Amino acid sequence: MFKRILFATTASPSCDNAARVAFDMAKRYGSELIVFHVLGIPSRGFSRFVTDVRTGEIVTFDDDYLGWVKEEMKNTYAIQLDMHQKSRIEALPGVPHTEILRAARKRDVDLIIMGSTTREEDDGTYTYRSATGSTLQDVTKAARCPVLIIGRPVASVWGGFSNIVFGTDFSRSADSAFLFAYKVAKTFGCTLHLFHAYDISAIHSGKIMEQDEIEDNMIEAREKIRKMYIPRLKGFDNYEIEIWEGIPYVEIVKFARENYADLIVMAHHTRKPSSEKTLLGSTVEQVVLRATCPVASVNRPDKIKDI
């Protein structure tokens, strides 16, 4: 299903859950797996000093240090690397999200797998160029292929599941996410839940909606799903449609939990978020932090068609 997978790791325990999924998937599909570590942000202009992302120390980057980092990575993933021969380790200095995206584009990868640490950004990150954002935010926004994010320990790994939740906001990016969710569901013969969370978070700014209004909108959403997605489920009938009202990310996480979802697929918008949204984090980011299963962030159709 995926010819080439890029597993972006900090090579520390926070990525262990993601590592398990990455190696398991690669083995299952005979994919080429690139275990990719961006070891530090180059500082001091053009000099060889690099701030190591794991230790926070300033190190002088040279071949020896690189060799040492790779050795460490080999030790961390010794067992997995042994089991799956088509994998290789790469490490280089740079701004993490830049190098991950650069490599993903250059190697034409079909899937990026990342762990989500609970406190990815420290205060310094804001000031490294453009928007606030963790590596995760920047990668999911710009990646041309789906990004699978594993934040919590995953009980069942890829291939052994039964429920996929596709959360939609009816955007064009959601179309790509839908395609991905559908293909995966079809391949594994599992149930596809098409879910929409009707946003009533305006309630916090004092706006109270009439119940009739809410329910009318929910019915409308259900119709929309029927029109937009169902016709494309050619001959596939193992699906359910559900609309819940509330704060979108909360509802999605709840719904996924209630239905024992093994995977949540959502669209990540490629549009640059306004600064308020950046502070709160988009719905995808909130879901990633809270869901008990992996979340696939999809925003472009490019690599999905190849699946």
Partner 1 sequence: MPEGIFCNKKAIDTREQLNVVLGDTGGKQYYEEMNHLDVDKDALWATIQKTFKSRLKTWLEICAHCGLCAESCYYYLANNRDPKQVPSYKIQTTLGNLIKRKGDVDNTFMQMCMDTAFSKCSCCTRCGVYCPFGIDMGIMFGYLRGLLFSQGFTPWEMKIGSGMHRIYKAQMDVTTEDWVDTCEWMEEEWEDDYPGLKIPIDKENANIMYTLNAREPKHYPQDIAEAAVLFHLAGENWTVPSEGWEETSLAMFAGDWQACKMQVENVYAAMERLKPKRMVVTECGHAYRATVIEGPYWAGLKTGKPPVESLHYVEWVAEALRTGKLKIDPAKKIKEPVTYQDSCNYVRNGGLADIPREIMSYIAEDFREMTPNREHNFCCGGGGGLNGIGRYREQRNIGFKVKRDQILATGAKLVVSPCHNCWDAIRDMEEIYHLGIKWTFLKPLLIDMVQIPEHLKPKEE
* Residues near partner 1, by CB under 8 A: 42-49, 60, 62-65, 94-95, 98, 101-102, 105-106, 124, 126-127, 129-130, 142, 144, 171-173, 270-272, 275
Residue 169: CB minimum distance to partner 1, A: 9
Residue 80 tokens read as: 């997995």
Six-digit token string for 88: 């290789």
Q: Is 171 exposed, middle or buried (0-12, 13-18, 19+ CB in 10 A)?
A: middle
Q: If you search the block for the tokens 């961006």, which residue do you land on?
A: 38
The least CB distance from residue 271 to partner 1, in Å, is 6
Contacts of 175 by beta carbon, 8 Å cutoff, 6+ apart:
228, 267, 301
In this complex, which beta carbon is closest to partner 1, that of residue 101 or of residue 197?
Answer: 101
Q: Supply the minimum distance, in Å, between the C-beta of residue 208 and partner 1.
A: 28
98 or 259: whose CB is closer to partner 1? 98
Shortest distance, position 63 Cβ to partner 1, whole Å: 6
Q: How far is the CB of 105 from partner 1 (least distance, A)?
A: 6
Instruction: Report the alpha-carbon distance of residue 110 to residue 145 in Å, rounded.
Output: 6
Q: What is the DSSP string of 2-52?
A: -SEEEEE--SSGGGHHHHHHHHHHHHHHT-EEEEEEEEEEE-STTSSEEEE
| Helix or strand run (H / E) with residue 253 | helix 248-258
Q: Which residue number, 131 or 155, has a Cβ lying nearer to partner 1?
A: 131
Nearer to partner 1 among residue 48 and residue 86 (C-beta) = 48
Which CB sits closer to partner 1, 43 or 55?
43
Q: Could you give the 3-state DSSP secondary structure of residue 206?
A: coil
What tokens does 237 get?
């009938």
For residues 110 and 91, what is the distance between their CA atoms, to the nearest angstrom? 20
Q: How far is the CB of 46 from partner 1 (least distance, A)?
A: 5
Q: What is the smallest separation between the CB atom of 223 and partner 1, expressed in angstroms?
A: 18
Q: Which is nearer to partner 1, 130 or 211 (CB)?
A: 130
Angle between helices 248-258 and 283-290 (to 10 degrees): 40
Minimum CB–partner distance for residue 102 and partner 1 (Å):
7
b/e burial code for range 172-207 (CB count within 10 A of at least 16 → b): ebbbbbbbbbbebbeebebbbbbbbbbebeeeeeee
Nearer to partner 1, 94 or 246 (CB): 94
- Report the alpha-carbon angle 159-194-256, nearest 5: 60
User: In this complex, which beta carbon is closest to partner 1, that of residue 143 or of residue 261?
Assistant: 143
Return the number of other C-beta atoms located less than 10 Å from residue 209's C-beta: 14
As beta bridge partners, residue 8 has: 36, 114
